[in-house]
């Protein structure tokens, strides 16, 4: 079971003891762009189909390389905290929180409806909410673009590279070559949580708490550093703020709000109670600190 530790304590522990796993290695040369972040001209969930069009044009999309700070410097206090958190959370393998992190690997519009099923109290059939799906699929591409720039600019290695520590997904060369900073999952999860909270404001608190846990899952999973997830949330917030300035996005929000309200008021399947119990327990635990 994870427990929150102050940042200073995490850092001190890392500086006084050798980490259980290998120190980070210098960044690799940049791989081809398509392995660094999702392609904007392809649907990463259904590569045989063309992607939706993002809402924001290049001229108005936020420059997240300028917005985000650099990742922690080598041998800095923040990097020590990153390494300590990675090493400590390896002990969660096999726990309910580990299983939740593995489930949180799923991304995209349909997956996000499942992610929020417990906090919404119902499983929504995606075929009944095409406006909601369209909203999330288009916004996902804006978040992907916001993530791509910093990933390629900083080329930070993921925490499992150079060691054999357990992670909650299969190790692949493609995953190792896709850079760590910022976390695209955390950016997407937080942006989607902000959108969902705006669509269902009466459930904003549990929605945002679940969105926070979705990002924390990337640390539990072992595929991102703490600071990657913190930057991912800033990234997601930046994309959401820019999207709010787009008239088409706002119009689609209104369509999705009406559609989602109707779907929530109708007859739907109940979410898996075992999954909801696990999530409820995880959300009551102190969050990972950044």
Whether omega for the bond prior to residue 182 falls within 30 degrees of 0, making it cis, is yes
**Would you call 228 a catalytic residue per the annotation?**
yes
Of the candidates 140, 218, 233, 278, the residue annotated as catalytic is 218
**Would you call 185 a catalytic residue per the annotation?**
yes
Rounded Cα distance, 13 and 16, in Å: 5
Please, are residues 167 and 222 in contact by the beta-carbon 8 Å criterion?
yes
Q: What long-range pairs does 64-68 form, CB within 8 A, spacing at least 24?
A: 64/146, 64/147, 64/149, 64/150, 64/182, 64/235, 64/238, 65/149, 65/150, 65/153, 67/234, 67/235, 67/238, 68/150, 68/182, 68/231, 68/234, 68/235
Of the candidates 228, 246, 252, 278, the residue annotated as catalytic is 228
Of the candidates 224, 233, 252, 278, the residue annotated as catalytic is 224
Rounded Cα distance, 287 and 213, in Å: 8
Q: How many CA atoms lie within 13 A of 142 on its CB side?
A: 28
User: Which ranges in 17-129 belong to alpha helices (H)?
Assistant: 33-36, 64-67, 77-89, 96-103, 109-115, 117-120
**Would you call 75 a catalytic residue per the annotation?**
no
Of the candidates 52, 185, 233, 278, the residue annotated as catalytic is 185
**Would you call 250 a catalytic residue per the annotation?**
no
Please, are residues 246 and 253 in contact by the beta-carbon 8 Å criterion?
no
**H or E element, residue 116:** none
Sign of CA dihedral 201, 108, 228, 1: positive
Rounded Cα distance, 114 and 218, in Å: 17
Give the DSSP letter string of 173-191.
Answer: HHHHHS--SS-HHHHHHHH
Supply the residues annotated as catalytic.
185, 218, 224, 228
């Amino acid at each position: 079971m994870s427990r929150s530790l102050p940042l200073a304590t995490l850092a001190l522990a890392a500086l006084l003891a050798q980490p259980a796993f290998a120190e980070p290695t210098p960044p690799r040369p940049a791989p081809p762009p398509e392995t660094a972040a999702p392609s904007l001209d392809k649907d990463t969930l259904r590569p045989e189909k063309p992607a939706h069009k993002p809402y924001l044009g290049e001229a108005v999309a936020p420059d997240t390389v300028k917005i985000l700070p650099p990742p922690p410097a080598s041998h800095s206090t923040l990097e020590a905290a990153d390494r300590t958190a990675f090493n400590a959370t390896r002990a969660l393998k096999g726990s309910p929180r580990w299983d939740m992190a593995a489930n949180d690997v799923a991304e995209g519009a349909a997956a996000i409806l499942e992610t929020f099923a417990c906090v919404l109290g119902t499983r929504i059939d995606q075929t009944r909410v095409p406006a909601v799906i369209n909203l999330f699929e288009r916004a996902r591409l804006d978040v992907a673009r916001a993530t791509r720039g910093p990933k390629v600019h900083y080329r930070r290695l993921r925490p499992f590279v150079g060691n054999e520590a357990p992670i909650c997904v299969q190790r692949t060369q493609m995953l190792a070559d896709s850079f760590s900073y910022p976390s695209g999952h955390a950016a997407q999860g937080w942006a989607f949580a902000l959108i969902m909270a705006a669509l269902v404001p009466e459930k904003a608190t549990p929605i945002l708490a679940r969105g926070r846990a979705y990002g924390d899952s990337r640390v539990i999973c072992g595929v991102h550093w703490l600071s990657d997830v913190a930057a991912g949330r800033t990234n997601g917030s930046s994309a959401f703020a820019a999207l709010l300035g787009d008239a088409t996005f706002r119009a689609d929000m209104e369509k999705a709000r009406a559609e989602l309200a109707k779907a929530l008021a109708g007859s739907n399947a109940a979410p898996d109670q075992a999954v909801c119990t696990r999530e409820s327990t995880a959300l009551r635990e102190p969050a990972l600190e950044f």
